[in-house]
Amino acid sequence: MDLRNTWDKWPDANGRFGEFGGRYVAETLMPLVLELEAEYRKAKRDPAFVAEMQDLWTHYVGRPSPLYFAERLTEHFGGAKIYFKRDELNHTGAHKINNCLGQVLLARRMGKKRIIAETGAGQHGVATATICARFGLECVVFMGETDVERQKPNVFRMRLLGAQIVPVSSGTGTLKDAMNEALRDWVTNVETTFYCIGTAAGPHPYPEIVRDFQSVIGREARAQILEREGRLPDAVMACIGGGSNAIGLFHPFIDDEGVRLIGVEAAGHGIETGQHAAALNGGRPGILHGNRTYLLQTDDGQIIDAHSISAGLDYPGIGPEHAFLRDMGRAEYLSCTDDEALEAFQLCTRLEGIIPALEPAHAIARVGEVAKDLGKDGLMILNLCGRGDKDVFSVAKALGVDV
Amino acid sequence: MGRTRIEAAFAKARAENRAALVTYLMAGDPDLETSYGALCALRDNGADIIELGAPFTDPMADGAAIQKAGLRALAGGTKLTDVIALAARFRKNDQTTPLILMGYANPVHSMGYEAFAEAAAKAGIDGSIIVDLPPEEDAPLREIYGRHGLSVIRLATPTTDEHRAAKVSEGASGFIYFVAVTGVTGAGSADPAAIAGRVAMVKRVSGLPVCVGFGVKSGAQAAEMAKIADGVVVGSAFVEKAGDAHATGRFEAAGPAMGMLAHELRVAIDSVRKA
């Protein structure tokens, strides 16, 4: 079989996925993103770089993550067989570390000793702080002031790991403001600093780099399902904030036209309320944080704050490759409200004995409909991209339980 | 029209053997009426070129002063169309002072490049500085601006080498805005000695006047920069006057305060007249 695919040629030389992506950054940063791209091209072809990453993925992160047959959830919905890709079993409890490891190894190659990152729920921050501790690098994490308050355990974990947390009060003090502040830091400390972006967005080459590092998820899942079931799945599903876990799962299947790629956005209180984080289902194309993509914005082009119960999905944009896949009709994007995610969180916990993070709970909330649609002969994989320990307190609060 | 007015402003400063004073204010901060008064006060007190800031929710290249100014303007309901209308109002009584719109790509993209360019040209705006549209991304805008006689003003920075300077110069007109420090607006202070060589290089490569900004707040700093550049840009210091007016509720104080600062800067720049 010819595995070369027509979708895999993106991004183009200008960092574009069709009309999305690009490098919309201040001139001060242009030499840096161009240098990063050149260095990444070299690293990708360097067997030593690939071997070091592979070794750490295996022995430090704990890859490959298992592909698990969610038998009781499958029975519950009575449709297609549902498999979980267990990326919540990675070191630090989420898929974020796949990418952090790759980027920090790149930073070391480039001689950068100071790593900065933005974080919302704190998962990317924790993963970055972890890898920085492992390599003895300075780590500064920008986090919205409100998130610092809401995510105290992760803030403490990052501090234990030696990271400096910078609470961001500018703008509205949310994830997008943390990203603005990280960009401001980067523009100020261009010589010493590497910006480790946590999602498949930002200026080229970040969407490509993050996708490539996260594609380990889909590569493993593809091989594992072929071994277990002897065939490709009918659908793969993942939740979408910026979209790094989803693109990591989707990309190795992108050429398999028979495999449906299904992303689930956070609909917050409902898309019709305006309080949501569903950039594809409730936004329109615009330019923010270095790329052209779908954004939540006013008629006048001002960015609207996202809302989701899940801090990890609480972002007004989405990675440019998702914008492209949606417009080209290659991937489908559904949405799920806060309440539906809470229900799915509990359902998965009780039926499978796995407490999922609120982020993948959004995908779980839609998995039943897709499973029924595919029917009993169907086969699907859902990326369980994070574990729910971090969410126990916010779930308790949402359910009115005093912990 | 746009390019002509900018060229005329630099020609005038050159004829007077001095650098041009380029001032910035955030349109709609604290309100549009105050901004109109401030525009006139800046012009009357020696500003050669005025940058009119268009507010954006996520100004990644700006420091605290301009971030807050943008949020104040947005809280007051200022839209991009209001900024253009403000320019048109000013242009009715002033045919010579160039107005440069400065802001971020998304509001302009949202309005549509063609619609924006047409409205801006009609309002008497002379060009724009769109911070997050580097030469790699502004080709569509450049083509449209060409048809409307608007200038694409680009940024050069301490990270701009000769190769990059050539890229930055492609299709640029009016002037090059040299960002004196790696960092955000209003932060730190620039060392003229450290950047003089690079400013000269950018001038040589681009063949355009070079204005230096970021970190220039006082008359003394402006005078130092005036020695090495064709123009000196001051932004955050003006925006802070609008912030003071907002804080005290005395909006009418903003224009005169900005005028006084412009005067002080202009006197300082004039004191280092070039041979």
| pLDDT score of A8 | 76
Interface with A, mutate which of B56, B109, B160, B162 (most A CBs under 10 A): B109
Q: Which residues of B are catalytic?
A: 51, 62
pLDDT tens, position by position, A130-161: 999 999 999 999 999 988 987 888 999 999 99
| pLDDT score of A6 | 66
Cβ contact, residue pair A31, B155, below 8 Å: no
In Å, how far are A43, B46, B60, B185, B234 from B66, measured between CA atoms? 39, 22, 11, 7, 12
Judged by a CB distance cut-off of 8 A, whether residue A289 touches chain B is yes
Mean pLDDT over the full length of chain B: 95
Cβ contact, residue pair B134, A24, below 8 Å: yes
A394 has a pLDDT exceeding 60: yes
| pLDDT score of B1 | 52
Task: Say how many C-beta atoms besides its own lie within 10 A of residue B252's C-beta.
Answer: 10
Length of chain B: 275
Rounded Cα gap, residues A78 and A363, in angstroms: 17
**DSSP per position, A253-300:** GTT-TTSEEEEEEEEET-GGGT-S--HHHH-EEEEETEEEEEE-B-TT
Mean pLDDT over the full length of chain A: 95
| pLDDT score of B2 | 59
DSSP code, position B210: E
Rounded Cα gap, residues B30 and B22, in angstroms: 21
Which candidate from A27, A171, A286 shows the least CB-CB separation from B160? A27
pLDDT band at A174; cut points 50, 70, 90: confident
Rounded Cα gap, residues A313 and A121, in angstroms: 9
Residue A88, amino acid: E
Residues B152/B171, Cβ–Cβ less than 8 Å: yes
Tokens found for residue B147: 């048809």
Q: Rounded mean pLDDT of A196-212?
A: 97
pLDDT tens, position by position, B130-172: 999 999 999 999 999 999 999 999 999 999 999 999 999 999 9
* Enclosing H/E stretch for B25: strand B20-26
Residue A170 with chain B: CB contacts under 8 Å: 64, 67
Interface with B, mutate which of A34, A175, A184, A293 (most B CBs under 10 A): A184
Write the CATH number of the domain with boundaries B2-270. Answer: 3.20.20.70
Residue B79 with chain A: CB contacts under 8 Å: 300
pLDDT tens, position by position, A280-338: 999 999 999 999 999 999 999 999 999 999 888 989 999 999 999 999 999 999 999 99
Rounded Cα gap, residues B29 and B247, in angstroms: 11
Judged by a CB distance cut-off of 8 A, whether residue A133 touches chain B is no
> Chain A, 157-176: which have a CB under 8 Å from a chain B CB?
170-171, 176
pLDDT tens, position by position, B97-117: 999 999 999 999 999 999 999
Residue with tokens 């029924």: A372
Rounded Cα gap, residues A25 and B60, in angstroms: 9
| pLDDT score of A146 | 83
> Chain B, 189-228: which have a CB under 8 Å from a chain A CB?
none
A4 has a pLDDT exceeding 80: no
A5 has a pLDDT exceeding 60: no
B187 has a pLDDT exceeding 90: no
Residue B67 with chain A: CB contacts under 8 Å: 170-171
Residues B2/B150, Cβ–Cβ less than 8 Å: yes
Which candidate from A183, A188, A295 shows the least CB-CB separation from B187? A188
For residue B80, the SS3 value is helix
pLDDT tens, position by position, A344-374: 999 999 999 999 999 999 999 999 999 999 9
Residues B102/B129, Cβ–Cβ less than 8 Å: yes
| pLDDT score of B275 | 57
Cβ contact, residue pair B61, A26, below 8 Å: yes
Residue B236 with chain A: CB contacts under 8 Å: none
| pLDDT score of A7 | 75
Cβ contact, residue pair A31, B164, below 8 Å: yes
Rounded Cα gap, residues B68 and B62, in angstroms: 10
Best CA proximity match to B137, nearest among B109, B100, B162, B163: B109
Which candidate from B60, B79, B157 shows the least CB-CB separation from A27? B157
pLDDT tens, position by position, A22-40: 999 999 999 999 999 999 9
| pLDDT score of B186 | 82
Judged by a CB distance cut-off of 8 A, whether residue B237 touches chain A is no
| pLDDT score of A3 | 41
- Domains of chain A, with CATH numbers? 17-58+96-210 (3.40.50.1100), 62-93+216-398 (3.40.50.1100)
pLDDT tens, position by position, B207-224: 999 999 998 999 999 999
